[in-house]
Structure 1
Amino acid sequence: MTKAVRVHELGGPEVMRIEEIELAPPGRGQVRVRNHAIGVNFIDTYFRSGTYPVPSLPFTPGNEAAGEVVELGKGVTDFKIGDRVAYVATLGAYAEERLVEASRLVKLPKAIAYETAAAALLKGLTAQYLLRRTYKVKAGDVILVHAAAGGVGLILTQWAKALGATVIGTVGSAEKAKLAKKAGAKHVILYREEDFAARVKAITKGQLCDVVYDGVGNATFPASLDCIKPLGLFVSFGSASGPVEAFSLSLLASKGSLFVTRPSLHTYAEKREDLDKMARDLFRAISSGAVEIPLRATFPLDDVVNVHRALEGRETTGATVLLP
């Protein structure tokens, strides 16, 4: 038996319960992992509430964790019992132990703590593909990062600065502005108090940004398009304030023949070789000091309801980790 968070009906944080469940032996290509630290992400609330569909009820939330291999299924040759690993996988991470497809595991260097890996992997791999593949950020670029004090935002900001870009960040409070500044944002905009598009235009002297990274969604659209130079890119990778509603594609022409994309980690990391490459790039950035993972708080797994309430109340900064 193993302890796990279970959701029997969709709804608010209170629908999550701690229960004892029995895991089947790992099947072919699977590994049983004992989680040492579990990452908490805003996407977890989407599955719990029903915003994103779940395969069936009940289910265990959570998409990332770090721990050790305790049992191998048939056909698994890349890992052995005792290996330190981390993963971003399908639902099921909010548990003491779980089964994971070996193809979704990455080996965790000894220099990186379990808590750091659990806080870093989903957000860090997201930052990796956004900065290195969706738009290849280079020295001299000017980029706008919405929610720059959030989990992904702080990593994006640090990494982009290390790549030589000028980062403009938007945040919701003075406290979060300090965090974004510390992470490397040259300019910080309080989007609840200021017209961020007008401020971007002023900051850049009308030159605007090469790319906008937006994990906020509805609240920052379409004003984000007014921050992008002609032929620039709008990257919508999250919907913390609700999804971007349908709009006329002619808007992109009138704003300067802009490009728009809605990427996902699943697509970028679907191939095993891509996942390994992305993870190595992320771990190098962390080990070199270019990126410091913003682990702000750890909580026992039993506190999961309060953790989700704080997350949805936009009361958190950086990354939060659950300890089973």
Structure 2
Amino acid sequence: MGTRSSSARVTTASASATRRAWEISSKGSLKNLELNTVPSVVLNPDECRVRVRAIGLNFADVFTALGLYSAAPKGRFVPGLECSGEIVELPNGYAGDFRVGDKVMCVVRFGAFADEVAVPMTQMRPLPNGWTFEEGAGFLVQGLTSYYGLRALGDVKRGSTVLVHSAAGGCGLMSLGICEAVGAEPIAVIGNAGKEETLKERFPSLRAVIVRDRKRFKQQVKEACDSIGASEGCDIVFDATLGDFFQGGWDNLARGGRYVVYGAADLTPRGDSIGVVGWVKLAWKFLRRKKVDPLMLPGENKGILGFNLIWQFDKQEELARLLAELNALNLPAPKVGATFDFTDLPEAMRLFQTGQTTGKVVVTVE
């Protein structure tokens, strides 16, 4: 592809001295989210300015608001990890392929809960033809999370048996798509039977679905493995649930298998804030959680890995490589399960927190 140059920053009439942004004044409650008019972002030399059209929600956003996310900034800040929109300003001397007016998908280290955001040039991709802004806002975080967890850590490949928790959610559906693209065999875990239709509509060839039961989850996984001819168990467990559902997956992990953890939804408090009772419940669940003895791992010949995607943002070359590999899979647009107006963002967070949604929860910005 050729390059387009810009000898100076290009600012359209839409750029403003101020922007609207949801800020967290103090962590601990969704009620501390405030919609304010704040100064426009100041760009670093490697950043462009994007007018936000849609914002994708993630469990990390809930954890951030509740004060449970260690990577969150101190003090007042604008949360949000991904969005889509239009470029309104490029860096001085930029000589790449993007230009003002291009529609893009972006992943950022906080700041997406706004109608304008600064985005490093390496952390955005063109919005694919035919995709809506809502679909674009639901792709990069889920895509990178699922691809990094399954490919880089899980070593997924053709023929792998993969247990996918929360399979009807954003990351779950993306993970099923990656499994389909590489020829792996997924076992989809969902919280209620009503979500199975979503799975079958999007993945008609899906052979194994588990409507999870706390009391018999281990047996459910064993039966699902047997039903698809994986009698030795799963090669990969991809889990953002943990809690009562960890042991059933771990006990059904085949020798040489990898248990990949990227969240703990079953331990997450519900409601706007944690409060004293919430902290007590959280502490009780934490103390009761299942543990893995490292001394047993060599004998069992299996491993457990965990990751937080946000720490990969410091590794720009690796992040760019992951984005390129993800793009090469030509995955379909993500399923958008619910949309909310920008002014109703806290309500979108509350719905997302329930775990009753399917697909991606997206906030639109007019």
State TM-score, norm by structure 1. Answer: 0.90
Q: Within the alignment, does 1:225 sit opposite 2:270 as a pair?
A: no
d(CA) in 2 for partners of 1:295 and 1:218?
27
Question: When the two structures are aligned, how many residues end up with a matched partner?
Answer: 320
- Aligned counterpart in structure 1 of residue 175 of structure 2, from 156, 171, 175: 156
d(CA) in 1 for partners of 2:24 and 2:290?
29
Do the aligned partners of 1:157 and 1:183 also contact (CA within 8 Å) in 2? no
d(CA) in 1 for partners of 2:79 and 2:310?
17
Task: Give the deviation of 1:147 after TM superposition.
Answer: 1.0
Structure 1 runs (4+) greater than 6 angstroms displaced: none
Residue in 2 that maps onto 1:304: 345
SS of structure 1 residue aligned to 2:83? strand
Do the aligned partners of 1:6 and 1:17 also contact (CA within 8 Å) in 2? yes
- Higher-Rg member (1/2): 2
Do the aligned partners of 2:214 and 2:244 also contact (CA within 8 Å) in 1? no
Task: Give the deviation of 1:96 after TM superposition.
Answer: 0.4
Task: Give the deviation of 1:46 after TM superposition.
Answer: 0.9
Task: Give the deviation of 1:292 after TM superposition.
Answer: 4.3
Do the aligned partners of 2:135 and 2:333 also contact (CA within 8 Å) in 1? no
d(CA) in 1 for partners of 2:34 and 2:318?
36
Task: Give the deviation of 1:233 after TM superposition.
Answer: 0.7
- Aligned counterpart in structure 2 of residue 104 of structure 1, from 104, 110, 123: 123
Task: Give the deviation of 1:312 after TM superposition.
Answer: 1.3
| Structure 2 gaps, min length 5 | 1-17, 268-285
Residue in 2 that maps onto 1:257: 301
Residue in 2 that maps onto 1:197: 218
Task: Give the deviation of 1:264 after TM superposition.
Answer: 3.3
Whichever residue aligns with residue 202 of structure 1, its letter is: E
The farther-off stretch of 47-56 and 195-204 is 195-204
| Structure 1 gaps, min length 5 | none
Task: Give the deviation of 1:319 after TM superposition.
Answer: 0.2
d(CA) in 1 for partners of 2:31 and 2:312?
33
**1:57-76 paired onto structure 2 within 5 Å:** 57-74=75-92, 76=94
The farther-off stretch of 267-276 and 231-240 is 267-276
State TM-score, norm by structure 2. Answer: 0.80
Q: What is the identity percentage for the equivalent residue pairs of Structure 1 and Structure 2?
A: 30
- Aligned counterpart in structure 1 of residue 39 of structure 2, from 22, 35, 54: 22
Root-mean-square deviation (CA, aligned residues, Å) is 2.3
SS of structure 2 residue aligned to 1:261? strand
Inter-CA distance 192–265: structure 2 relative to 1 (3 Å threshold): same
d(CA) in 2 for partners of 1:176 and 1:65?
26
Inter-CA distance 24–293: structure 2 relative to 1 (3 Å threshold): closer
Task: Give the deviation of 1:238 after TM superposition.
Answer: 1.5
Inter-CA distance 234–15: structure 2 relative to 1 (3 Å threshold): same
Task: Give the deviation of 1:141 after TM superposition.
Answer: 1.7
Whichever residue aligns with residue 249 of structure 1, its letter is: P
